[in-house]
């Protein structure tokens, strides 16, 4: 997987593990800034994971698979957004609905299309192209951080920069943030806050679709419930990242590193698999509580 | 939500539309996916009523849902979220089973209350943890309940399939608890047991607690308007902790009740869906403890129908999850209710 003699597998793995958190986090940030906690991220990742690999298998093209997978995820996000915004439903309950629907729909479709509710293996699926610059792989740490990853990882990096520009350097970003912090001002300016929230939801559909695509296309298979809590962890990543794109980049690196370390430890210590599965949730909730303590101590009793 | 007669009508009609839409989507799915749609639809709707066995099992499945639905109602009434129901049910079942397996010689009159208390305690501690974090540092309970519950599910999995695993079974199950811990069956050959009466009684008690006691009043006030409650001298932070303790306790109890009359042992993943369904039950019941009873029966019916359709026809049980998702989507849709309200007003004006 890695050519350089200074290669550090843990860092290399960290980068691939963190990318779904990063992408889902960037998407979730868009709705977060527009004043909505988007708990549907989990379901969106699952939809992206399922449909991108299924479409890739049907069309025989990775690019079409990813594209159609993203479009399906955005459609799914649109339904969630439309019910929430136009029918004025509670965003947490519709978020749960999206997660439930994603779990149910992927299983029902898997059974209907492939006759199984288990793992779907797709033989002969091309693997994701990997960026290789052998001369640069040898640089310690940097080599593992930046090179030798599949191309979707670079979409993750790019999303940080694009999100930063979109949020801080465009009128759209200004209004998006205004929707969250001061919706009356947005309305007074003759704009509709709902439009910016919908835009945020659609962007999170796009990035979660990509996040899901990485999970299944890397494997060449679909595993039931493959999102396994990543959408929820992404919510905490947004919070820990201080609701900024680069903060989210840092926070997802920390989560990726922790998971990568625990995978590594599993190889050496005899830790039961169940505990390895529980580990991401435990560190996430621990991190969340620690940050809330710090915030509480520094900001006092005020919200 | 104001309770004028007109908005009561809107609530009922909105519920009807929501459930109708859910069933329509399910019918559509069956028409597309089933090769024998007529047969599938028949078994979905009629299956649960076929005989006392199916009917009793459906009622039996509603019992833990009443408890989780009550648990969620308490949290929602106080405007607190509890998304950790799945894990709280699971750990409650584990606590009851561990106690029963550790003390197999105890007489039932002592053993059953102890096992149930262990279940309530375990669930309350787990949900209470999120309540405590919120109480002390305002940690968001919506996310923390979910994360703690999910971590717990894997750990309980490990205990069920490890320490407690029945060495003589090839399945991922614990040993059976001693006979004196078993709840008495009341509708043979089905699994329905006497716990249904106690749970209905509990719903009545919950109703009186919420609507007729001072503490229940304060809890509801904190849910409706925390600023107003604070102004009225209520210690609002107490109601970050208390509703989650009650909510977790009821979920833990659901875990115990779900196996002590039915399989008499735990199997891996036995709590699957009870927590999420509890949320749906509470939403349909609009957090009213008495309305939780029919709402739980309705959900048990959907599950039983999907199971019957899976056994007798060619669809998978997860179509129930899709139906539930539609209910979740529409049940809080304010626009739907105000639209009905306007139509209704215009007609009666």
Residue with tokens 């102890």: B114
A83·B333 Cβ contact <8 A: yes
Q: Distance from B78 to chain A by nearest Cα, in Å?
A: 16
Q: Distance from A144 to chain B by nearest Cα, in Å?
A: 30
φ/ψ (deg, to 5) at A148: 80, 15
B334·A96 Cβ contact <8 A: no
Interface contact A296, partner B, CB < 8 A:
yes
B328·A88 Cβ contact <8 A: no
The domain locations on chain A are: 9-299
The answer to whether B197 touches B190, Cβ cutoff 8 Å, is no
User: Chain A neighbours among B 1-30 (CB < 8 Å)?
Assistant: 29
CA separation for the pair B220, A295 (Å, rounded): 28
B329·A83 Cβ contact <8 A: yes
B321·A104 Cβ contact <8 A: yes
Interface contact A284, partner B, CB < 8 A:
yes
Neighbours of B184 (CB within 10 A): 9
Find chain B residues with C-beta within 8 A of A105's C-beta.
322, 325
- The residues, ordered by sequence, that sit 6+ positions from A168 with a Cβ below 8 Å of its Cβ are none
- Given this model, what pLDDT does residue B313 score? 85
Mean pLDDT of chain A: 90
Report pLDDT digits (tens) over B28-63: 888 888 888 889 889 988 989 988 999 999 999 999
The answer to whether A14 touches A141, Cβ cutoff 8 Å, is no
B137, B321, B322 member nearest A296 (Cβ): B137
- Given this model, what pLDDT does residue B288 score? 94
Q: DSSP string covering A31-95, please?
A: HHHTT---TTHHHHHHHHHHHHHHHHHHHS-HHHHHHHHHHHHHHHHHHHHHHHHHS---HHHHH
Find chain B residues with C-beta within 8 A of A302's C-beta.
none
Residue with tokens 């875990």: B255
A281·B324 Cβ contact <8 A: no
Which residue of B137, B319, B334, B336 to mutate against A (max A Cβ within 10 Å)? Answer: B137
A289·B137 Cβ contact <8 A: yes
Interface contact A154, partner B, CB < 8 A:
no
Interface pTM, i.e. ipTM: 0.88
- Given this model, what pLDDT does residue B116 score? 97
A275·B147 Cβ contact <8 A: no
Q: Distance from A289 to chain B by nearest Cα, in Å?
A: 6
DSSP B81: -
Interface contact B318, partner A, CB < 8 A:
yes
CA separation for the pair A281, A287 (Å, rounded): 10
- The residues, ordered by sequence, that sit 6+ positions from B11 with a Cβ below 8 Å of its Cβ are B1, B286, B337
Residue with tokens 């304010």: B334
B155·A274 Cβ contact <8 A: yes
Interface contact B172, partner A, CB < 8 A:
no
- The residues pairing with A120 across neighbouring beta strands, listed in sequence order, are A222
Find chain B residues with C-beta within 8 A of A25's C-beta.
none
B328·A97 Cβ contact <8 A: yes
- The residues, ordered by sequence, that sit 6+ positions from B186 with a Cβ below 8 Å of its Cβ are B192, B193, B194, B196
C-alpha closest to that of A34 among A198, A168, A180, A191: A180
A87·B336 Cβ contact <8 A: yes
C-alpha closest to that of B286 among B16, B65, B10, B77: B77
- Given this model, what pLDDT does residue A3 score? 43
Nearest CA in chain B to A94: B329
> What are A17's two structure tokens?
């593990």
Mean pLDDT in residue range A99-121 = 92
Interface contact B133, partner A, CB < 8 A:
yes
C-alpha count within 13 angstroms, C-beta hemisphere, residue B89 = 34
pLDDT surpasses 60 at A1 = no
Mean pLDDT in residue range A223-230 = 92
CA separation for the pair A215, B190 (Å, rounded): 43
Find chain A residues with C-beta within 8 A of B172's C-beta.
none
Find chain A residues with C-beta within 8 A of B333's C-beta.
83, 87-89
B143, B326, B328 member nearest A288 (Cβ): B143
DSSP B147: H
**Cα–Cα distances in angstroms (integers) from residue A17 to residues A174, A251, A255, A280, in the given order:** 31, 12, 8, 12
A105, A117, A282 member nearest B322 (Cβ): A105
Q: Distance from A114 to chain B by nearest Cα, in Å?
A: 12
DSSP A138: T
C-alpha closest to that of B156 among B271, B278, B256, B277: B271
User: Chain A neighbours among B 96-125 (CB < 8 Å)?
Assistant: none
Interface contact B342, partner A, CB < 8 A:
no
Q: Give percent of chain A with pLDDT exceeding 70.
A: 96
Angle at CA of residue B234, ends B228 and B236, nearest 5°: 85
The answer to whether A235 touches A41, Cβ cutoff 8 Å, is yes
Mean pLDDT of chain B: 90
Q: Distance from B306 to chain A by nearest Cα, in Å?
A: 12
Q: Distance from B248 to chain A by nearest Cα, in Å?
A: 18
What architecture is domain A9-299?
Answer: Orthogonal Bundle (1.10)
Report pLDDT digits (tens) over A171-207: 999 999 999 998 899 999 889 999 999 999 999 999 9
pLDDT surpasses 90 at A146 = no
> What are B252's two structure tokens?
């833990």
Neighbours of B344 (CB within 10 A): 16
DSSP B177: P
The answer to whether A253 touches A266, Cβ cutoff 8 Å, is no
pLDDT surpasses 60 at A2 = no
DSSP B36: S
C-alpha closest to that of B321 among A105, A114, A119, A225: A105
Those residues of chain B that have pLDDT short of 70 are 1-6, 349
């Amino acid at each position: 997987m890695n050519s350089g003699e200074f290669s550090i597998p843990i860092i290399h793995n960290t980068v691939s593990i963190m990318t779904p958190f990063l992408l889902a986090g960037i998407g979730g940030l868009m709705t977060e800034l527009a004043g909505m906690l988007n708990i549907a991220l989990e379901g969106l990742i699952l939809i992206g994971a399922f449909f991108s690999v299924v479409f890739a298998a049907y069309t025989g093209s990775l690019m079409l698979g990813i594209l159609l997978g993203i479009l399906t995820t955005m459609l799914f996000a649109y339904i969630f957004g439309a019910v929430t915004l136009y029918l004025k439903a509670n965003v947490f309950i519709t978020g749960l609905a999206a997660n439930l629907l994603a779990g149910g729909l992927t299983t029902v479709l898997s059974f209907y299309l492939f006759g199984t509710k288990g793992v779907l293996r797709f033989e002969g699926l091309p693997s994701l192209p990997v960026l290789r610059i052998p001369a640069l792989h040898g640089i310690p740490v940097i080599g593992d951080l930046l090179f030798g990853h599949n191309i979707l990882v670079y979409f993750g990096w790019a999303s940080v920069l694009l999100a930063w520009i979109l949020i801080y350097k465009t009128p759209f970003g200004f209004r998006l943030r205004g929707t969250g912090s001061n919706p009356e001002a947005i309305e007074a300016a003759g704009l509709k806050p709902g439009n910016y929230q919908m835009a945020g939801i659609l962007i999170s559909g796009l990035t979660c679709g990509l996040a899901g695509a990485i999970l299944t296309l890397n494997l060449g298979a679909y595993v039931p419930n493959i999102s396994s809590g990543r959408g929820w962890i992404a919510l905490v990543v947004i919070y820990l990242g201080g609701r900024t794109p680069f903060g989210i980049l840092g926070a997802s690196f920390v989560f990726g590193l922790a998971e990568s370390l625990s995978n590594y430890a599993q190889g050496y210590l005899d830790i039961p698999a169940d505990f390895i599965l529980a580990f991401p949730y435990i560190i996430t909730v621990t991190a969340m509580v620690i940050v809330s303590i710090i915030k509480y101590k520094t900001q006092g009793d005020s919200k | 939500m104001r309770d004028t007669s007109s908005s009561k009508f809107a609530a009922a009609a909105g519920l009807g539309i929501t459930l109708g839409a859910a069933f329509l989507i399910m019918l559509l799915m069956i028409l597309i996916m089933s090769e024998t749609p007529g047969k599938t639809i028949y078994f979905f709707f009629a299956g649960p009523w076929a005989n006392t066995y199916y009917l009793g099992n459906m009622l039996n499945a509603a019992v833990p849902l009443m408890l989780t639905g009550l648990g969620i109602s308490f949290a929602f009434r106080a405007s607190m979220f509890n998304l950790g129901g799945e894990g709280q049910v699971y750990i409650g079942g584990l606590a009851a089973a561990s106690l029963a397996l550790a003390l197999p010689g105890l007489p039932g009159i002592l053993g059953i209350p102890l096992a149930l208390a262990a279940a309530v305690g375990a669930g309350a501690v787990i949900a209470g943890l999120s309540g405590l974090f919120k109480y002390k540092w305002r940690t968001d309970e919506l996310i923390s309940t979910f994360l703690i519950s999910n971590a717990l599910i894997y750990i309980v999995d490990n205990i069920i399939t490890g320490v407690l695993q029945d060495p003589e079974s090839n399945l991922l199950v614990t040993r059976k608890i001693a006979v004196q811990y078993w709840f008495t069956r009341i509708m043979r050959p089905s699994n329905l047991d006497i716990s249904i009466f106690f749970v209905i009684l509990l719903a009545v008690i919950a109703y009186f607690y919420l609507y007729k006691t001072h503490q229940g009043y304060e809890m509801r006030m904190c849910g409706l308007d925390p600023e107003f409650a604070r102004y009225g001298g209520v210690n609002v932070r107490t109601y970050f902790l208390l509703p989650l303790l009650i909510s977790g306790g009821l979920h833990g109890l659901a875990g115990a009740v779900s196996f002590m009359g039915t399989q008499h042992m735990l199997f891996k993943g036995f709590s699957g869906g009870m927590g999420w369904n509890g949320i749906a039950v509470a939403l349909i019941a609009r957090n009213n403890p008495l309305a939780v009873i029919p709402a739980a029966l309705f959900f048990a019916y959907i599950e039983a129908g999907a199971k019957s359709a899976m056994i007798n026809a060619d669809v998978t049980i997860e179509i129930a999850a899709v139906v539930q998702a539609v209910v979740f989507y529409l049940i809080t849709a304010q626009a739907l209710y105000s639209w009905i309200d306007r139509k209704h007003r215009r007609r009666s004006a």
